[in-house]
Structure 1
Amino acid sequence: MPSSPLSATPASRTAPASRSPWRSLRHRGMRWWSAANFVSNAGTWMQLTVQNLLVLHITGSAAATGLSMSVQAAPALFVSLLGGAAVDRWPRKLTVSVSQALLGAVAFTTALLVALDRIDMTSLLVLAAVTGVIATVDGPACSLLGNDLVPVEDVPSAIGVGALVHSAGRLAGTALAGVTVALLGTGAAYAANGLSFLFVAAVVPFLRPVRGAVERPAAEPRAVPERAELSVREGLAYFVRRPRLMALAGITGISSVFGRNYGLTLAVLVTGPLAGGAGSFGTVSTVLAVGGILGAVLGARLRRPSVRTVGLLAAAGGLLQAVAGLSPSLAVLLVLVLPMAVVESVSDTAGTAVLQTDPPAHLRGRVLGVWSSVGTVWSLGGPPLLGLLMQGAGARGALVAGGLLIAASVGAGLLLRRRGGLLPVSALPAADGEVTGRAALGTAA
């Protein structure tokens, strides 16, 4: 009987080791998954582009627009741990298919309300909250399903390709939004997003994991007791007791708060000390986007990224940020912004690969749930803290102080590890999915 057209070919299983950033696309399932994600990302950005305009049209308030975005993000702070536990408990492909179908239903509901002129702020907030809750399951499930389609050494490539697909989908969705609204109306953008979710749900059943992937082995689902498999506390305990994950969280956290928020810091620097305008900041934003794409390609070449790699890249990015804060002109800033964006993008790819492959297979959903909750804290708390720093030290001072703080923190962490302050990686449990939850927790303590 012929194999599924989306299953891995024998050639892909025996291909020699490659550092090509596109190596994950050798696997048919990954090619289809990337195509589905492009369609989904284009639909999502089409909806996001018109959603803020819709809120402004209904309320005339910028504050209300911010509120709708916060309501959609808030579930990630409170429900992500439960969402991660659900991903560990339920069959992955079924979970993705159902969550995508539910997200499509929300989009179609919104489209119908807009078409009937029955949409108001209350219904928009409710639908945004429902979307946020579903996303706490859909996000980690989609990430882990993508990893199932490639061997573990190709996970960085899959993540890099995913970043490129996201960028391409964003560009396509933003461009299509204006055309769609002009020709068919606002509701059509929501309907198109609903169709994009259904397309992903239709592709998922035909995807086949490859040999050597990081998916949960067939014999493992019952390897831990059923009640433990649903335990949020077990995933949280594993994360806290795993030194490399705590180090990754620390590096990412300090980088997120004191760096990376370039939409805020560089905007103030360009329009303030460098005396530029909106056009100048647009040029800086374009260079940042190009650097992010280049960084995703370079990150996809990684084979075995480590927390040390993430730390060194974060330190390099911090030093570049500090120098950028001293830029005497826009031209000098543009020269520095490109490598800043490249380093940040490679670091993101390396960190995501570590996060998605380090935990035992039956804990990966819960670990991603913990990460989502922590990341939401950073995204909500970072800009206000950085704003206070800028208010006191100015844009240049915030960039310089933040960059030096990132580099110094990473340097101090590496020094502590070298002196034995942290357990060496070799002393930690293997992340091969064959260690039971209690054994992993016990040896990581």
Structure 2
Amino acid sequence: MSAPASTPPETRRSPWRSLRHPSMRWWSLANLVSNAGTWMQLTVQNLLVLQVTGSAAMTGLSLAVQAGPGLLLGLVGGAAVDAWPRKLTAALSQAALGLVAFVTAALVAFDMLNVTTLLVLAAVTGVIATVDAPATALLGNDLVPTRDVPSAIALGSAVHSVGRLAGTALAGGTVVLFGTAAAFVANGLSFAFVAAVIPFLRLVDHTAETDAPAAAPAPRPAARVSADPREGLRFFAGRPRLVALAAITGLSAIFGRNYTLTLAVLVTGPLAAGAGAFGTVSTALAIGGIVGALLAGMLQRPSVRLVAAMAGAGAVLQIAAGLSPSLALLILLVIPMAMVESVSDTAGTTVLQTDPPPHMRGRVLGVWRSLSTGWGLIGPPAIGLLMELAGARAALVIGGLVIAGAAGAGLLAHGRRATRPAEVPALAPVPAAARPAELSAVA
């Protein structure tokens, strides 16, 4: 992949290079506002559910109801994104999410919110998100050339982190000054702002690029005749690199990354520190995540191999964290842990969003949403049970060994495939010029 000659090398590798495009600057601003509004709402939402229901179990149920559509309808949502115009789909889904937030605010303000209404609103939000998530993700990538997609994804991760910090900080003051309903109003306005920006964004014609990656996606059909969700599942299952990406990411999600749970138990248990100490660890994780996002923005050609390598490195650090004898050493370890996780996420997301042909990307993201929702629901109780049986330290070590073993086996298998010579039939000699030197890489 070569950048235009007029672009300095330092600019081509800058983590901020996607911001050279005006539409990406507007999109990033809109996402910053949206993320801040979302985290304002999320900060008070669980407390609101507790206030309305008086039950912690009901709070968990409301979260499960909201996540459920992603597990069950991810394929359908992805198919809708492939079938409908991208900008229109994203604008309508953002407007619909804003409407849900405004309705919730009105019900809270007039004291009309009850358990049934809460669950209905959670389910509606989950259904809309099955379309909104792939639509907005792919829309962001459509605003920059292919070579700048890693930068756009990393920028989105950094914007998410900043928006989370800003929204969480603003939530408390907003509720104190204006009441709980104000957080939902603010979130509704943030969605409305994004929906208003989308029509003015200019998409990049990726088919006209001359510096696309070597493993370029198949050309898009001239016209879409269907967007069958089953085609996305068949494509995903028949693409070894996507299956490998799902395998290593799923294992990492189940046996690692649940740091808000595992590290909380480690800090308050074996390390005998308090909640304030875990707050320090959480801050270190956030810092590492932001630094990792900046490093990830410099990627040019992310691959599944890079994801596996980062997963393996993170697993080794997780094992070291599980064996850490002191809080100070743990804090030093969690920063690179978060860094490699952020780089791995950006590399994996880039592969996921650029490897399939354009007309299949929504459905592939739909498959991914169903898978990620599944392992997101399995991970916390699985690692929680492991900690109950073996303790926090052993859970971190065992989880790290599982991830490191899987990543190492995958990298070793890939290396063997890449170096194995091609077989030539004995009865049908092939001219030397036509013989491949080695098999091409899968990822």
Give TM-score scaled by structure 1 length: 0.88
Q: CA deviation at 1:230?
A: 1.6
Which residue number corresponds to residue 195 of structure 1? 189
User: Partner of 1:51 in structure 2?
Assistant: 45
**Alignment partners' CA distance in 2, 1:57 and 1:388:** 29
3-state DSSP of counterpart to 2:203 = coil
Q: Which amino acid aligns with 1:355?
A: L
1:108-257 paired onto structure 2 within 5 Å: 108-212=102-206, 223=222, 226=225, 229-257=226-254
2: CA distance, partners of 1:179 / 1:122: 29
Q: Alpha-carbon deviations, 1:215-274, whole Å to 9, x = none?
A: 9xxxx8763651xx3211111011001010001001101111111111111111111111
- 1:349 aligns to what? 346
Q: In structure 2, what is the Cα distance between the partners aligned to 1:197 and 1:143?
A: 15
CA 1:52–1:210 in 2, change beyond 3 Å: closer, same or farther? Answer: same
For 2:389 and 2:111, how far apart are their aligned partners in 1? 47
> Counterparts in 2 of 1:401-412, with a 5 A limit?
401-412=398-409
In structure 2, the partner of 1:23 is 17
Counting only pairs closer than 5 Å after superposition, residues 235-384 of structure 1 correspond to structure 2 as 235-384=232-381
Task: Say if 2:394 is the partner of 1:397.
Answer: yes
Q: C-alpha distance in 1, partners of 2:90/2:420?
A: 36
Show structure 1 runs of 5+ residues with no match: 1-10, 425-443
Distance 1:344 1:214 in 2: 33
> How many residue pairs were aligned?
409
Task: Kindly provide the CA deviation profile for residues 308-366 of structure 1, in whole angstroms up to 9, marking residues without a partner as x.
Answer: 00100100000111111111111111111111111111111111011000000000000
Letter in 1 for 2:14: S
State the distance in 2 between where 1:232 and 1:423 align: 36
Q: Distance in 2 between matches of 1:187 and 1:403?
A: 43
Counterpart CA distance in 1 for 2:171 and 2:390 is: 40
* Equivalent-residue separation in structure 1 for 2:8 and 2:245 (angstroms): 31
Once the two structures are superposed, residues 78-110 of structure 1 have per-residue CA deviations (whole angstroms, 9 ceiling, x without a partner) of: 011000000000000000111111111111111
What is the rounded CA distance, in whole Å, between the counterparts of 2:51 and 2:40 in structure 1? Answer: 17
What does the per-residue CA deviation read over 1:181-229, in whole Å, with 9 as the maximum and x for residues that have no partner? 11111111111111111111110000001344799xxxx8763651xx3
Change (3 A) 1:187 1:51: same
Q: Find 1:33's aligned residue among 14, 24, 27.
A: 27
State the Cα distance separating 1:369 from its structure 2 match: 0.3
Computed over aligned residues only, the root mean square deviation of the Cα atoms, in angstroms, reads 2.1
Partner of 1:73: 67
Give, as a single letter, the amino acid of the residue that structure 1 aligns with 2:325.
P
Distance, in Å, in 2 between the alignment partners of 1:13 and 1:94 is 35
Q: Which runs of 4+ in 1 moved over 3 A?
A: 11-17, 211-215, 220-225, 421-424
- Deviation digits for residues 112-148 of structure 1 (CA, Å, limit 9, x no counterpart): 1111111111111101110110000000000000000
The residue type equivalent to 1:309 in the other structure is: L
SS of 1:230 mapped into structure 2:
coil
Per the alignment, residue 431 of structure 1 pairs with: none
- Structure 1 residues 117 and 161: CA distance shift in structure 2, 3 A: same
Equivalent residues of 2:50, 2:59 under 8 A apart: yes
User: Equivalents in 2 of 1:210, 1:16: separation in Å?
Assistant: 21
| Gap change, CA 1:214 and 1:285, over 3 Å in 2 | farther
Partners of 2:420 and 2:370 in 1: how far apart?
25
TM-score, normalised with respect to structure 2: 0.89
Residue 69 of structure 1, CA deviation: 1.1
> Cα offset for 1:417?
2.2
Q: Deviations over 1:275-307 (max 9, x none)?
A: 111111111111011101111111111011000
Between the aligned partners of 1:185 and 1:409, the Cα distance in structure 2 is 49
In the alignment, structure 2 segments of 5+ residues that lack a partner are 210-218, 422-441
Amino acid across the alignment from 1:15: T
Is the Cα contact below 8 Å between 2:242 and 2:352 reproduced in 1?
yes
Report the AA paired with residue 104 of structure 1.
G
Question: Is contact 1:322-1:400 (8 Å) kept?
Answer: yes
- Work out whether residues 214 and 357 of structure 1, in 8 Å CA contact, stay in contact via their aligned partners in 2: no
Q: Distance in 2 between matches of 1:63 and 1:264?
A: 18
Deviation at 1:76, TM superposition (A): 0.2
What letter matches 1:133 in structure 2?
A: V
- Deviations for 1:139-177, whole angstroms, at most 9, x for unmatched residues? 000000000000111111001110111111111111111
For residues 145 and 15 of structure 1, what CA distance do their matches in structure 2 show?
Answer: 25
Match for 1:406: what amino acid? I
Matched, 1:415 2:412: yes
1:82 to 76, 79, 91: 76
Q: Take 1:33 and 1:214, find their aligned partners in 2: how far apart are those partners?
A: 22
